[in-house]
């Protein structure tokens, strides 16, 4: 008997800030990856729960409240609001995710799936604090980072404004978040630097969704075998019924012929 997967509670954070939106490939890669993830986990177990948060400073909020309704999720992902002048509110998204996970059923695995496409509002002290909260809640954190700068390059200006301010290049902060929460190997950060859509889909399938895909393939094989057995059984039953009907028909024919001969014999005796 195939073991049932443990139900999962997932919060997905989509970057709809200005840099992610200006790069149309990043925007579409996030949305398509979110669609794939939701379709797979809910097909795997319809009791799984997903919530979606958008992170633009001009329109951050809950796009989808926790639900198992795939149709509702797909409808929301058809049009993720594009806040072209907004920054990326990672701090708010983490606070919202922590609050959401606090209400998640205790018997469910928890995962934070975050897409980063621009500068973020997260500092080292906050990264450590949220990392501890997520760790206490048993949340696996998976980050796909589309915004990677070569700050070690001699051509990079160390005084660049992108490294300072409330919204800044936050790779170090994301690393600290992961280091704080990750003591079981289930949390990762992946830099997506080219072929955004195909790369993020490939990483999803090879990592987070690997066990889900394996379960679905195994389940499909078992279902096919059951259907084949049921069809074979139906076929055997049909043949048996056909055989019985032929035998009954033959018996009736024989009885009819014997009865007819008896009647003719009696007529002959009378004559």
The predicted pLDDT at position 238 comes to: 61
The predicted pLDDT at position 264 comes to: 56
Write down the pTM of the prediction. Answer: 0.81
The predicted pLDDT at position 183 comes to: 72
| Whole-number average pLDDT of the chain | 84
Crossing angle of helices 70-77 and 24-44, in 10° steps, is: 180
The predicted pLDDT at position 62 comes to: 93
The predicted pLDDT at position 149 comes to: 77
φ/ψ of 120, rounded to 5, equals -130, 160
* Predicted confidence (pLDDT) per residue in 192-210, tens digit: 988 999 999 999 999 999 9
How many CB atoms are closer than 10 A to CB 1? 4
* Predicted confidence (pLDDT) per residue in 136-180, tens digit: 999 999 999 998 877 666 656 666 767 777 888 889 999 999 999
The predicted pLDDT at position 220 comes to: 82
Separation in Å, CA 195 to CA 25, 29, 249: 9, 9, 71
Q: How many CA atoms lie within 13 A of 72 on its CB side?
A: 12
Task: Identify the segments of the chain with pLDDT beneath 50.
Answer: 259
How many CB atoms are closer than 10 A to CB 224? 10
The predicted pLDDT at position 259 comes to: 47
For the record, the structure tokens of 27 come out as 């925007």
Sheet of strand 109-116, all strands in order from the earlier edge strand to the far edge: 61-67, 49-54, 8-14, 109-116, 139-145, 188-191
């Amino acid at each position: 008997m195939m073991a049932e997967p443990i139900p999962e509670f997932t919060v997905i954070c989509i970057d709809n800030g200005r840099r992610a939106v200006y790069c149309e490939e990043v925007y579409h890669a996030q949305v398509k990856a979110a669609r794939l993830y939701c379709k797979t986990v809910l097909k795997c177990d319809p009791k799984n729960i997903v919530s979606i948060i958008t992170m633009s400073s001009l329109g951050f909020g809950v796009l989808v409240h926790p639900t198992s309704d795939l149709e509702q999720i797909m409808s929301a992902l058809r049009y993720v609001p594009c806040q072209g002048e907004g920054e990326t509110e990672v701090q708010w998204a983490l606070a919202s995710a922590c609050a959401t996970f606090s209400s998640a059923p205790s018997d469910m695995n928890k995962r934070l799936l975050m897409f980063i496409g621009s500068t973020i509002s997260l500092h080292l002290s906050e990264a450590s604090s949220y990392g501890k909260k997520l760790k206490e809640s048993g949340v696996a954190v998976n980050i796909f980072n589309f915004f990677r700068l070569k700050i070690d390059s001699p051509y990079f200006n160390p005084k660049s404004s992108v490294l300072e301010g409330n919204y800044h290049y936050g790779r170090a902060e994301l690393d600290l978040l992961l280091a704080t929460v990750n003591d079981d190997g289930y949390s990762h950060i992946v830099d997506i630097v080219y072929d955004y859509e195909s790369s993020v889909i490939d990483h999803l399938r090879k990592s987070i969704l690997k066990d889900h895909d394996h379960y679905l393939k195994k389940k499909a094989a078992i279902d096919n075998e059951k259907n084949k057995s049921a069809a074979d059984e139906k076929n055997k039953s049909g043949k048996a019924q056909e055989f019985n009907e032929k035998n009954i028909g033959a018996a009736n024919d024989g009885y009819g012929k014997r009865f007819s001969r008896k009647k003719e014999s009696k007529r002959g005796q009378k004559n």
